[in-house]
Structure 1
């Protein structure tokens, strides 16, 4: 009769991780591939990195946000947000303004040039989305969005 330690060892061996079947890995790979495809388009057509486009897109939906708020909305770390913001300010696409609720920080907002760029990029982004998900019917996409929300909720609970 096997000892308890031996039974645990057997259980671990039979439940070995197979990376191609590991859903967090597969999700990461799919996300990276989609991001790479999108990034190539943004870089080639508009000279934007993904992080820069994310800031432009979020700022287009607001009157201005702090870098901290941008980090929270985009799920990017402080350094990535800061570098993207600097690049966008240097290109004249984003301007810094005093934050009325916190005098120690600044809000970032799109300039007129930034809004014009957004108006060019947004239709391309929607076209990429249509091409990428064109083979799925509406109910598949609805379930996929619901599953993504459930995954995000599960991560929050971890």
Structure 2
């Protein structure tokens, strides 16, 4: 079998290419790394999260979260406080400056994502969304018995097959 025909490889390559298109916007125009973008995205949505919640909601490891949080804190885009007596547990909250920057960046990032997706026929976009949702559900079904939980992505509502 050729690697180019192996579905997991194709999926990873296409996802990375799509992601690079978005990184070009928030990285070049707003000076954010991929890890910083993810933290801001999560915090803008939630307002604040502790380190355990962040670990559950992102694919970043503890070191990546810590380093990105330090950079965001230096930029005054988030605050980070120690929770209780366990100095490893921290609470992260987005600042107004962080919220403003994120919203400006999100408009541009969303426009770039839409531009790419709109280059696909509507029928293919709908099939892609259904396929991604189906893959997410399949992963949850296969991994839930092993890990005790499904995928990390909350579902916005029922998705039709």
Task: Give the TM-score of the pair, scaled to structure 2.
Answer: 0.78
Consecutive unaligned residues in structure 2, runs of 5 or more: 144-161
Determine which structure has the larger helix proportion and give its number. Answer: 1
2:5 pairs with 21, 38, 60, which one? 21
Structure number with the bigger relative contact order (C-alpha 8 A, sep ≥ 6) is: 2
Q: 1:60 aligns with which of 37, 40, 44?
A: 44
2:120, 2:17 → 1: CA distance? 18
Q: 1:12 is matched with which residue?
A: none
Superposition map of 1:88-99 within 5 A:
88-99=72-83
For the pair shown, the structure with the greater C-alpha radius of gyration is 1
Alpha-carbon displacement from aligned partner over 1:54-110 (angstroms, at most 9, x marks no partner): 1101101112101232222122222211211111111110001354xx653221011
Q: Tell me, what secondary structure is at the counterpart of 1:46?
A: coil
CA distance in 2, matches of 1:55, 1:36: 17
Does the CA contact (< 8 Å) of 1:96 and 1:108 recur in 2?
Answer: yes
SS of the residue 1:61 aligns to: helix
**Runs of 4+ in structure 1 displaced over 4 angstroms?**
none
Conserved in 1, the CA contact under 8 Å of 2:22 and 2:113? no
Report 1:49-128 matches (<5 A): 49-99=33-83, 104=86, 105-128=89-112
> Taking structure 1 as the reference length, what is the TM-score of the superposition?
0.79
